[in-house]
Amino acid sequence: MSAITRHPPPPAVDPAVLAAFRDVSTATISDCLARMPVLAGLRPFHRGGPLVGTAFTVRVRSGDNLAIHQALEEVRPGDVIVVDGGGDTSRALVGDIMKAIAESRGVAGFVIDGAVRDTAAFAGSDFPCYARDATPRGPFKTGPGAINGPVCVGGWTVNPGDVVVGDADGVVSFPPGDAAALLDAVRAQAAREAEVLEQIRAGRYDGRYARVATG
């Protein structure tokens, strides 16, 4: 069995910050951050509902989930387990048992750059799970791996402690230090979009939104 490299856990994100982003769409967040912080290629496997939490990052060898098992011993309530599996979908990295463990420990959800299995269990649950694909083939459990270091998911770097937000469109992440300015920006963007929708319903839309909006 190969070693798992551990780094100190990041500071927890203020719960009020997380709550403020619970109803913010990932599309609006991405638009307000130069359309950049998208964990591309992932899709939701759960029944529905948003994902909001603090990134607890894990890097694994392709098709090996030993480091995820170890991460489940160290997570805090509200953490999102973000796994850099290199995009490999030949073996599932999590399934129903690991989902049950995560839920029992207050984990906010899974973000897996790889495959999952037991998809019916996720589809019947509101526990957020995003992944690249599904396969019944199980993982190795020999390592190596790393916990709470920078990871790359879908071409985007996620650092431990980043804010992670997911919805039906996918997943985005950003540093908690950006949260206050970003929240102002997304609220302004939402107000602009609401105004445009009202103009469309009233038959007064003149196309200006397409020329000036960030979205």
Annotated binding site: 95-98, 117-118
Q: How far apart are CA 131 and CA 47, in angstroms?
A: 14
Strands (E), 34-190: 43-44, 51-60, 79-84, 92-94, 109-116, 129-134, 145-147, 151-153, 156-158, 163-167, 170-174
**From the annotation, which residues make up the binding site for Mg(2+)?**
118
SS3 11: coil
Phi first, then psi: give them for residue 72, nearest 5 degrees: -65, -15
Cis-peptide into 9, omega within 30 deg = no
Residue stretches of the annotated binding site for substrate: 95-98, 117
